[in-house]
Structures are given as C-alpha cells and as structure tokens.
Structure 1
C-alpha cells in the first residue's frame, strides 16, 4: 500500500512537471521563432533532461495508472529532436516541441488525472 501511495504522489508531481514543461517549451519555441536560437537552446537542454525524468516516472508508475501512459511515443520525437539540435535546424526543433511533444505531454496529463478521478 505504501508503495502505491508513493507512486500516486509521483504521478501528482508528474502533473506539475508537465505544466512546467509545457510552459518552458512555449518559452523556448517563442525564442526560436524570434531568431534567438542560443537562448532557446539554453532552455531546451534542461527540458530534455526533465522529459527523460518524466518518462522514467511514467514507467515506474505504470501499474497504478488507470489509463496507461505510453512512454514510447516520445522516443521517436526525442531522436528527431537530437538530430535537429545537432543539425542546428531550429525551425524543426521548435515545431517538434510545439506540435509533437507538447500535445503528447497534455495527453499524458489527462491520462494521469483519470487515475485520481477513479
């Protein structure tokens, strides 16, 4: 029981982390679209680290999730993000975060919230 409580707390923290990530992604995307690639990139690196932590949290809490969060969905995007970053393709990078990663995170949050409604 204690372990499930800890997992539920981790899910709660994950919801807060998703809100933070989406907000920081919006800031980075705005910087990229505004031609401030260096500033955008400074924001993206910690975002990627936090995405990895979030993915680990989703994996650790899978057994208490009512609607399963599919972590693998982000893996393809992360590969593309790394490639875009290495190629300094900041338009693609911004688009990936804005149109692919943020919606996935929002969907994850909705699935997490179902667990607390159950």
Structure 2
C-alpha cells in the first residue's frame, strides 16, 4: 500500500482545515507521507481502538521509566521507518526535557518513495 493523498492537518492545531475554495485541504505524495509519519509519532500505543498494535509505546518504553536516549531514539526511528512511503531518515534530533519529563522531537527529515525529502 502506498500513500498518495490525505486530508491536510494544521501542524499548529492538529486539526483539519479548509482550502481557499471551501473544500477540505488535502496533501499528496511526499507531503502525505510526511504527515502520516508525524501522525504515527503522535499516536500512543494502544490508543486507536481499531488497531491497538499501532502507535509509539511512549509510556511503556520511553517515558514510563528512567530515560534511555538510545532506546528512545531507536523506538522513534523504528516508527518512522515503518511508515508507508518513508525510505530513509536523513536528519534526526531529539532531547529529553527533565522539567516536563517529555521527549522533544526537535527536527526529523525523511526521504520518501517520491524521491523528495520532507520535514516531520
């Protein structure tokens, strides 16, 4: 299965939005792959009732124990590389914020099956 298009998601609000013509905005090809990868990173393991195997095990493997940078990086990278259409991770920068006990994904770029690089 290859991702060809999807509804556009506003990165600031994580919500759908309307295009200038009044229809739902859509993204295609490489942008759709990038958006799908971003959505996968925002999904907690077990969160989606239709497929409880999808999502990142944020609580079990990353944030629910003492922070292990190598484990966090490998789990996030595995989720990205498991996204349909993602060919390679070209840049990757994450850090742990001790004050909020959260993983901050600073920047991630991937190349897609469309031979384009997108930022997640």
Same fold per superposition (TM over 0.5):
no
More helix by percentage: 1
More strand by percentage: 2
Which fold has the larger relative contact order, with Cα–Cα distance below 8 Å and residues 6 or more apart in sequence? 1
| TM-score, with structure 2 as normaliser | 0.29
